[in-house]
Amino acid sequence: MFKRYTNNPFFWLLLLGNLYCIWYFSNYSNGFVTVVWIYWMQSIIIGLFNFIDLLTIKQYDAAGFKVNEQPLTEKNKGCLPWFFLLHYGMFHFVYMIFLGVQLGFGVDRLFLLVGVGAFLLEALMAFIRRKQAEETLRFNMGGLFFLPYLRVVPMHLMIMGPAFLGWQPSVIFLVLKTIADMLSFMIYQRMWDKAVQAAQK
């Protein structure tokens, strides 16, 4: 089962990208701050594209997903993207304040721009690919809605961990960032595989 992920070149690019972030943090004085802000901005990009995806999706698999304890229908689906935008956006607004106070904004601007620019291009290409696939595939709505929240965990524990557990913020973040990135990739790939299998039946 794991082999289907490792056969995908993007799996290795993602892993190498995270290892490079760890190396960058180890070799540059402002490396950790830069990596954290890149991650935060990547999460904003993911949230924005997810909002547009939820707003424009036409074919989907509700699979028991509910809105206000009611089954998801075309009638109540319209509020879902806006709820996501508000809720996910508020998380990141609060994190921006905490990160600004805790870490400051002293980043390597060139590295930040390159990292965010590369991720924005990849996110745009993935979005276009998914929209094209929606003509024949039905993606799980619950998975699309909740998957971006996995990226909240590293930032949340990096902020709360040192205060309550005495952990080093850098260790918490870099380890959990890598885990969150790889898990997000594998969960999304599994969603894609399930959509393909359902279409073939």
CA 12 to chain centre: 17
Phi-psi region of 96 (alpha: psi -120 to 50; beta: other; left: phi over 0): alpha
What pLDDT shows up at residue 50? 92
Per DSSP bridges, beta strands 66-67 and 70-71 are antiparallel
Over residues 174-180, the mean pLDDT reads 84
What pLDDT shows up at residue 161? 62
Asked whether the beta carbons of 177 and 18 are under 8 A apart, the reply is: yes
Note the pLDDT tens digit of each residue in 180-190: 888 888 888 88
What percent of the chain has pLDDT above 90?
A: 13
Where does residue 56 rank: exposed (0-12), middle (13-18), buried (19+ CB within 10 A)?
A: exposed
Beta strands in 50-187 (DSSP E): 60-61, 66-67, 70-71, 139-140
Note the pLDDT tens digit of each residue in 18-65: 888 888 877 877 788 888 898 899 899 999 999 999 888 887 877 767
What's the CA angle centered on 148, arms 162 and 69, to 5 degrees? Answer: 105
- pLDDT band of 75, cuts 50, 70, 90: confident
What pLDDT shows up at residue 115? 84
Where does residue 158 rank: exposed (0-12), middle (13-18), buried (19+ CB within 10 A)?
A: buried
